[in-house]
Amino acid sequence: MFKKTAAAILLSFPLYAVPMAAHSAAGPVVAHGTTPTMGSVLTDGAGKTLYVLLSDSKNADEQKAALAACDKACQDKFIPVATTGRPLGLAVIPGFLGSVKGASGAEQATFRGWPLYTFADDTAKGQVNGQGFKQAAYVISPVGEVNRAAPKAVARAGAAVAKKPVDTALMPIGQEKYAATCAGCHGANGQGAFGAALAGFARLGEDDAFIKQILIGSGDMPGFAGAMDDREIAAVATYARNSWGNEFGGITPEQVKALR
């Protein structure tokens, strides 16, 4: 129902830059952007992806979980989007723009009530390294919908990425976890059932995207960040990437830890 309502709102509001004098020299603070892996998102004026933190959620349980998962060091990676009064927007719904005083007392841009942040580890346009970070940060769409999906894999041009060696100790652990949690949807032999077939599925070769898919989930697939530790998720990923004819190389617990 929300998607239909959001679409109706989008069609009923003109998308244009709000001419606020305080920002006219600096350009837009919030803009409509597109990323290769998450589609349409909000960006800042320089094109960097914007995020919301669930620690700002009005849902008490959601806020509590986010605060427990994302400590001060984690939250410090997210930089509040500064503004003076109502921010200038470009190709976004003007009525969704606003501002709020952040924890430091400085004004911060908001969209549909959500305070907005950039992520310190995003260094270029289109990057979404903060998506799902510690299960506390997510991109927001130009109609104000928090997008909790895992980033989609994107084909890489040029030379193939070198495969990481397979830790054979992880394979039996991965096989056991796969049988218990994944086989019902993806098939005992990766042939697919309710979920996608994993045998011969090229997207499994995208390390970060596949890890985040397991951690966060998307669509009908739940995330397993809370059900499995780093080694178990690395084991499941390694098993799926190197079974049923797949030869995509290993995943390490360190890779999983970096993306939680």
Q: What is the token pair recorded at 68?
A: 């427990």
- HSE of 27 in the Cβ direction (CA atoms, 13 Å)? 6
24 and 89 belong to one structural domain: yes
pLDDT digits (tens, 9 = 90+) for 167-217: 999 999 999 999 999 999 999 999 988 788 898 888 898 899 899 989 988
Pairing of strands 89-90, 30-35: parallel
202 and 75 belong to one structural domain: no
Domain membership of residue 124 (yes or no) is yes
pLDDT digits (tens, 9 = 90+) for 99-117: 999 888 899 999 999 999 9
Domain membership of residue 100 (yes or no) is yes
62 and 99 belong to one structural domain: yes
- Number of separate domains in the chain: 2
27 and 140 belong to one structural domain: yes
115 and 238 belong to one structural domain: no
Domain membership of residue 184 (yes or no) is yes
Domain membership of residue 178 (yes or no) is yes
41 and 103 belong to one structural domain: yes
Place of tokens 């992806």: 49
Q: How far is CA 147 from CA 52, 59, 142, 165, 197, in A?
A: 10, 16, 11, 33, 24
Q: Return d(Cα 230, Cα 177) in angstroms, integer.
A: 13
Q: Return d(Cα 142, Cα 37) in angstroms, integer.
A: 16
130 and 185 belong to one structural domain: no
**pLDDT score, position 28:** 84
Percentage of residues in the chain having pLDDT higher than 90: 64
Query: Does this model's pTM top 0.75?
Result: no
95 and 209 belong to one structural domain: no
Domain membership of residue 164 (yes or no) is no
15 and 137 belong to one structural domain: yes
Domain membership of residue 35 (yes or no) is yes
Instruction: Flag whether pLDDT at 160 surpasses 90.
Output: no
**pLDDT score, position 26:** 58
Q: How confident is the model at residue 36 (pLDDT cuts 50, 70, 90)?
A: confident
Domain membership of residue 47 (yes or no) is yes
Mean pLDDT to the nearest integer, 232-241: 96
Specify the higher pLDDT residue, 155 or 10: 155
Which residues constitute the domain of residue 185? Answer: 170-259
Q: Quick count: other Cβ atoms within 10 Å of Cβ 98?
A: 17
142 and 53 belong to one structural domain: yes
In degrees rounded to 5, what are phi and psi of residue 119? -115, 130
14 and 130 belong to one structural domain: yes
Listed residues 99, 115, 147: the one ending a domain = 147
Instruction: Flag whether pLDDT at 37 surpasses 50.
Output: yes
| Residues in a beta bridge with 35 | 39
90 and 124 belong to one structural domain: yes
Listed residues 90, 112, 147: the one ending a domain = 147
Q: How confident is the model at residue 8 (pLDDT cuts 50, 70, 90)?
A: very low
